[in-house]
Structures are given as structure tokens and as C-alpha cells.
Structure 1
Amino acid sequence: MKSYITDIQSIKKLIPHIQNLNFEYKSSKHQVNYYIENQKAISIRLPLSLAFDTNRNQIIDCEFLNYILIMIRSGIATVGYFENFENEKHIVFRAYMVRKKQGKSQIKHLKTKGKSRAGSRVRLQETLDFFEDISKRINEHFESHRIDRIGISCAETLIPYFYGTKSPLPFEKQDERIFKIPKHIQNPTYEALIDTNEFLKKGEVKFSPDGKDYLEQMNMNNDSESKKDQDDW
């Protein structure tokens, strides 16, 4: 499949031309899927500054939005609080979770070799403390601010630890404010946090061959900033 990243104005220009198509909105991806002959043909990931009214099939400008971005990998994580799309607070967490020789996290190692050695026990405790610190920081943001959206990028093997802390997170897995950050983040540093926020402030249009034909008929496929192959949409 093909896709391109584009700006807010281009998304606003595109939506009215495809509103006659059947659609569904996926809150977990902040994405609207449009169908041609019951087949998904066009998908639009909306910028964070746009909301979607499913009753009226319309996009709405967000006058003000508070959100947090949570990005976690083995041994490093970043939590950022954004007020009206600008980063107000952030913190980077680091922990001794990776076995140096194998380059494998202690969590993955536990599935095969257990935790008998002293180094393994240290890494396991570091892992637990790592997620407790993340949870406490998230709770601080929720206690101090109204949070409208929650963006998460977390490896599947770490999800049970993320939601299983002694200090419970201030939201459940099914919280409607949660959306998956649609970008692979290998190293969640502060720089990656800011780059990801800029990415989320833009939109993305994905299309099948039928969707491409439809867009070309509407002359809406000519102002993309970049195009790329997309295997999974």
C-alpha cells in the first residue's frame, strides 16, 4: 500500500471530497477509514489538532489539547506532557535491564533461563523500579492537569510490566483517550519525543489502488510531502 505524510490544511481540503464514502473512525489510531464497494480504500490518520465527529462525519479543530506521550523500550523510556501541542515537561528514564553480552533484556531472558544469578536479580529489580518510576511520573501529570489524549509506544513484551505496577496507572488499557503512536521508536530519547510530537501534528493518507484512483479523480493526490511503500495499514 502507498501512503504520504501531509499537513493539516491538506487534510482539511481532502476530507470534504470523500465524505460521501462509507467510513469508520478508529480512536485507538486516531484514524478514519473510508470504503469503496465494502473494501477499505482510503485511511486518514488525523493530526492531533483535529478531532473527528462520527455523528456528523466531520473533522473539528481542537482549540486546546493536553496530552502525554509515553515511549518505552528495554532500559530507556520517555514521558512527555504537552500543553496545546507544546512540550511543557519531560523526563527520560534509564535502567540496567539489558544483558550486555547477549544484548537481550532481562524480561526476555526470564522466559528461558530464569533468574537464579545475582546479576539477573539486579536487572529484574531495576526493571520493576523502572516501571514504578514511569507510573509515578504519569500519575503526577494526571494529578496536575486535565489529560485529553494518551499516546503510547511500548514493546509488547513490556506491556504487562507497564500496566502491572504497584502504583496503578491513572487509566485502564481500554481508555478511549489512548492511541498507539504510529511510528517505530527505537531509542526514546528527548529528541525522539520532540520528533514524534512533530510527526503527530501532521496527518497521513494511505490508499489502495482503488483509493488512489478515487483520489486522482478528485485531484487530491498531488500535494504530498513524501510518499512511501506501506505494508501494514
Structure 2
Amino acid sequence: MIPTDTTTGHGYTPSWRKDDPKAPRYFFRAASVIERAQMEAELSGEHAAGRVFPFEMVAAFRSGLQVLLADDPAIDTLLELVEAEAGGKTLGEEDRQTLIQARAVLAQHWPAYRELVAQQERRKEIAPIVVFRRFCIGWHNVDATFILGKDKAIPEAVLAQIDPMEMIGAGNFGYGLLYGSAADRDFQQPLPSDAAPSTSPSDKSMEDGSLMASDGPTIPGSNYLDGSGALSTSGS
């Protein structure tokens, strides 16, 4: 369930520092419906990092295969694999590698698919930072002074003092909090996430809460773009 309390702090400690007695702890609040929409608008507009839905990736992948491999006998098999994967079927390792290699070719040679992959990557990198600056409400054991700018967000100068990996991990935690989940479906977390959130007081001095691409082979069976394409594991 998405939290409705937008003032209570939820604490996050980087999992890779959980045994460190001086580990940093970051606190986040949930967002209102309007605040979530404003965050998404910033990502989509200013950063060109809006959501990329699975059906968009599948559609671009399918259309690219149909154009680039139109005369190739492997096209029917590839389209069957696309449909099977999109339907939730677990593929064997050989079939999975076939799709990975097909994505590599399309990411290089099919503009519609390439742009979706690029947008997905932008979101993965930028969204945690946007969440951090908008919804982080304090921290412990961090060598930076917590302040908010006139826009009620953390200034760039303060963000520059935060460890980048900690900021990404904390931002991913905050994003999950905004949508009522510890995991984000739109971008992968760079490091293991911690336990589900609980609560703690919500100011700067708050106490801890109780919660805690290389060249690849051609698509098997295809003669198209022999030896080209950077290996990509982006979803279809």
C-alpha cells in the first residue's frame, strides 16, 4: 500500500554498511499524489527520463525485428520468443541468449528501440537523484549539512557532498516508498535494497526508526548485420 502520511520519516541505511557503527542513515517521507505527479513531470520533461512501459519495449522490439529481419527465416522463431517472454513464459538459456543478441542488434540499428533503451537508462540514473533531492528530509552520520533551498528541495551544492552510491541507493529506497514498494519496476537498483521501511521522527536530528557494451555475435539463424551490435541486457 502506498503511504498516505507525507510527514513521517522512513529510514534507510546502505546495506553494504549495515555493520558499520558509523553508517549513514537517510530519512525519506512519502509523497502526496500531486507531488508524485510533479516528480514524474520533472523526469519526463526536464530530464527526458519518463517511464518506459514494458508494452512499449515489446512493440518497438517486434516492429524492429519485422523490418530489419523481414526476409530472414529466423523472424518467425524470434517473434514467437518475444511473445512467449512477454506472456511470462520462462525461456531456456539458448532462447534467452538469442533474445539478448537480437536486442543488441536493435539497440544499435533500430532508432525507436534505441531511444527507449536510452530513456530507460536515463531514468535509472536520474530518478533516484530527483527523489533524493525532493523527498529526503534529513540524515545521520553524513559529512554534509542538511538544508533545503527555496524550492524546498536539497540544493545541488549539498548533493555534491553526498557519496554517489549512497545517494543512488537511498534514492531508490525513496522511490519505492513513494509507490508503496521496496523495489522499483522502472529502473534497477545498483546495490541490494534493505528491508521494508518503518518510521522515525522527521527532522534533521531525528532518531533512527524501528525499520529499518562489447561487440556480440549475430542473432542465431540470421544473416543480418553479421557480427554487429553491442551486447545489451535491456528488457524488450
TM range (shorter): under 0.3
Structure richer in helix, relative to its length:
2
Structure richer in strand, relative to its length:
1
- Specify the structure having the higher radius of gyration (Cα): 2
TM-score between the two structures when normalised by the length of structure 1: 0.27
TM-score between the two structures when normalised by the length of structure 2: 0.27
